[in-house]
Amino acid sequence: MLTPWGKNPITFIRQVVAVCLMPSLLDDPNIPTDVKDRARAVLKGCKGGSLGSYSDSAGIEIIRRHVADYIEKRDGFPSHWENIVLCAGASEGIRGTMKLMIRHENGIKPGVMIPIPQYPLYSATIAEFDLHQIGYYLNESTNWGLDISELERAYEEAKKVCTPKALCVINPGNPTGNVLTKENIQKIIQFAYEKKMFLFADEVYQDNVYAAGCEFHSFKKVISEMGTPYNQMELASFMSCSKGYMGECGLRGGYAEIINIDPAVKTMYLKSISAKLCPTTLGQAVMECVVNPPREGEPSYKQFMAEKTGVLQSLAQRAKMIAETFNSVPGMSCNIVQGAMYAFPQIKLPEKAKEAAKAAGQAPDVFYAFQLLENTGICIVPGSGFGQKPGTYHFRTTILPQPELLKTMLEKFREFHSNFVKQYE
């Protein structure tokens, strides 16, 4: 059985979920004891001892406690389980938290700052909640870095039409594959503090860091290290079981850690998420495995580490392969894929191709994507779907295909692009 990535799922995760769904497996001598221990803890936290029961709206308490332990171990600073909310994937946690921004004052919309290029969850949610989107451009020339001067420009421009309330940062980046330095994060935090903005830290790719010299730094850790007054800022950070080495997208597990918000606001927030009753208990069980994996000395540890390391090493190999290939194609350029699971190359399109796109009623990068699909069967997402600087054209592609399949895909891509340029030059 393969995940959508074409890889075998992590054995430990699937075993724990299987035992939670079928507790009779607790008597199976073939099931490792640490798997049984995790499953027993989850089932003990469930009402009636069954995943089929509703949980608390914020999730099963023992798993929330283990999430807080995981964050505390990761960052070296306290995390309180009451600030943890389990959710059906990070997307639901982001949407639930963004609802806190909905308050029009004298007909003026609240504004939410998001990176461009961005993950479309943000633009869609902002539109649905009738908020104002404030786009700030990432700097392609510095490997999609986040310039504070650009944050200032976007903020000052937006003040004319809205009240900026929140700043969203995706790190590692989607679709850009960049990883922020600690120094950059510190400056972002200082900017948000000065502007009195609520910080959204989308950190679902925190396990996916590949490039030499790059390291994941959580916003929670950096805020804590910076001390007063920054450690009093409102912050929501998000994690998911869909990414990383896990790839359990369909099981819909995630968490949000929300700190420093007013107690009355927190009460209303918890009340609002209760309308959804509870996140899927299957997803909660997966998050238990993510934050409380096998420990050294436990029977599942060696296999778990071998599988986890194998996945991440293979992704690092593919990240390098995809950037090197695109950079070897005339008319294409691609930044180093430092993290996450995507590349966002830029393509130079001939004027005749742009004219053909206009005649077809399509944006140039959309026209390119359809031509690629029809000629090779390769599916990419046009850059215009994520946002890009005017006059530039990009596409997002994933690094997820297995190495041999990825190699074949990239050779097809190289051939197509060469033919496309010749056709329209």
Strand partners, 143: none
Average pLDDT over residues 53-58: 86
284 or 106, which is more confident: 284
User: Nearest-CA neighbor of 242 among 1, 62, 5, 425?
Assistant: 5
Taking only the tens place, the pLDDT of each residue in 145-181 is 899 999 999 999 999 999 999 999 999 989 898 999 9
In this prediction, residue 3 carries a pLDDT of: 52
Q: What are phi and psi of 280, to 5 degrees?
A: -55, 130
Taking only the tens place, the pLDDT of each residue in 249-274 is 888 899 999 999 999 988 888 988 88
In this prediction, residue 128 carries a pLDDT of: 92
Share of the chain above pLDDT 90, in %: 59
Taking only the tens place, the pLDDT of each residue in 268-281 is 889 888 888 888 89
**What is the architecture, at CATH level 2, of domain 305-424?**
Alpha-Beta Complex (3.90)
pLDDT surpasses 80 at 98: yes
Taking only the tens place, the pLDDT of each residue in 177-198 is 899 999 999 999 999 999 999 9
pLDDT surpasses 90 at 299: yes
Average pLDDT, the chain: 91
In this prediction, residue 126 carries a pLDDT of: 93
Q: Are 119 and 125 in contact (CB under 8 A)?
A: no
Range 316-319, long-range pairs (CB < 8 A, 24+ positions): 316/210, 317/403, 318/399, 318/400, 318/401, 318/403, 318/406, 319/177, 319/210, 319/211, 319/343, 319/399
Compute the C-alpha angle 55/45/234, nearest 5°.
65
pLDDT band at 244 (very low <50, low <70, confident <90, very high): confident
Amino acid at 82: E
In this prediction, residue 2 carries a pLDDT of: 46
What is the distance between the alpha carbons of residues 323 and 305, in angstroms, rounded to a whole number? 27
| CA 199, 202, 208, 212 torsion-angle sign | negative
In this prediction, residue 390 carries a pLDDT of: 87
E-strand spans in 53-186? 84-87, 110-116, 132-137, 163-170
In this prediction, residue 104 carries a pLDDT of: 81
Whether domain 41-291 has CATH 3.40.640.10: the reply is yes
Q: Are 75 and 218 in contact (CB under 8 A)?
A: yes
pLDDT surpasses 70 at 309: yes
In this prediction, residue 6 carries a pLDDT of: 57
pLDDT surpasses 70 at 33: yes
Per-domain boundaries in the chain: 41-291, 305-424
E-strand spans in 318-423? 332-333, 342-343, 346-347, 381-382, 395-398
pLDDT surpasses 70 at 60: yes
Average pLDDT over residues 114-137: 92
pLDDT surpasses 90 at 291: yes
DSSP category for residue 172:
S
pLDDT band at 16 (very low <50, low <70, confident <90, very high): very high
Chain centre distance of CA 255: 12
Strand partners, 209: 339
Taking only the tens place, the pLDDT of each residue in 62-85 is 999 999 999 999 999 999 999 999
Share of the chain above pLDDT 70, in %: 98
305-424 shares the fold of 41-291: no
Taking only the tens place, the pLDDT of each residue in 314-339 is 899 889 988 888 898 888 899 999 99
pLDDT surpasses 90 at 201: yes
The interaxial angle of helices 33-45 and 11-21, nearest 10 deg, is 50
